[in-house]
Structure 1
């Protein structure tokens, strides 16, 4: 699906880190009402809706053209992991946040391993959505308690691999508390550390998971012709 012009905004524009332009978002979903409604909500709050797409293949193609700061994509589109990995490899400055109506799952963990910056439930409020897009554009990991618990379990499965990234004791402790549903403030109070330190620990876990996957991404690029040796 081609680009759609963003709705007119009457609010202050959320901007990129350099504050020179609004955050550009690509919205990918196969349900027209949800996709168009999300685009309207973002446009009304000052984001630039750089385009929309209905499937994973057109998402990758459109992302190459518009180079968005953030891609919001439905987790259960066919071939969505291929799109996430392709965007992460080809467009490292574009952050991918997966959206799901069914709650965190192993599929969400695989999306994060494939290069997604995080996960957001479709039942989240518009305010939560705006916050998630701004955080993703700034390079932060977007996570929920359920996803954090699944990521921690994934590290447990990966621990037998000598090339796996190892969590520090504090990272494990923080992530277990997040997985139990504690808020950042509650974790900070319990561990007597700042809220920013809590957030840094969780983001560090996500970064380690993604760094572990760079070898797999490189292998994917070679196998799928994304290493510059094939035509687009």
Structure 2
């Protein structure tokens, strides 16, 4: 599919994720339940996004995420338990969706990951942030508005959604995001969300 996002997927052939992938508006390079095969394909074809179904039988999902994290990894799981989410993020996942995942949700998540955003099912980031507390010394380096923007980005809102929620222009939101990235020494939004979750920022 010309112009579509290239994806390597690790999932069972009969899984819900496989069904969604088959219908999604993406260029599915490889779909396999074998992480070695997926890693070889990713190295050869350099996909824009990797999808890992954490429920794939026989799969060490965290190992798979770590091995495939040269590209943004979208984890799909039936579990919204915050420890599982945090473990996936620490392993290298840039996104986490709780299944069952529809074709539309999957396509949207893949496109957002390819654009450098992080994508989480609603509420997941909040659960982890509440459990792991706050890193006050880092938060103190952010302005109040930067902290507000960061919290909404971690919750999975797009730049336009953050702008609407805070009654700001999209350009102002992007300026706050860039300032936060600079202050924390991070390269992009996906890295920002991982950092925020690991350090309990809100």
Instruction: Tell me whether the two structures share a fold, i.e. TM-score over 0.5.
Output: yes
State TM-score, norm by structure 1.
0.60
TM-score, with normalisation over the residues of structure 2? 0.68
What is the aligned counterpart of 1:53 among 6, 17, 32? 32
Specify whether residues 154 and 55 from structure 1 end up closer, same or farther in structure 2 by C-alpha distance, changes over 3 A only: farther
Deviations 1:179-224 (A, max 9, x none): 88999777545533235728x75x95742354699xxxxxxxxxxx
**Structure 2 CA distance for partners of 1:171 and 1:24, relative to 1, 3 Å:** same
- Name the Cα RMSD after superposition: 3.9
Any gaps of 5 or more consecutive residues in structure 2? 182-188, 198-202
Give a deviation string over 1:88-136, Cα, whole Å, max 9, x none: 2xx3xx2110011233632122222222111123234322211111111
Contact 1:41 1:126 in 2 (8 A): yes
The residue correspondences of 1:1-232 to structure 2 (distance < 5 A) are 13=2, 15=3, 22-42=4-24, 45=25, 47-77=26-56, 78-88=59-69, 91=70, 94-103=71-80, 105-153=82-130, 156=133, 159=135, 168=142, 169-174=144-149, 188-194=163-169, 197=173, 201=177, 206-208=190-192, 210=194
Q: Any unmatched runs of 5+ in structure 1? A: 1-8, 16-21, 214-232
* Cα 1:153/1:55, change in 2 over 3 Å: farther
Select the structure with the greater relative contact order (CA < 8 A; seq sep ≥ 6): 2
Aligned residues of 2:74 and 2:93 also touching (Cα < 8 A): yes
Q: Is the 8 A contact 2:9 2:52 kept in 1?
A: yes
Following superposition, the deviation at residue 61 of structure 1 comes to 3.3
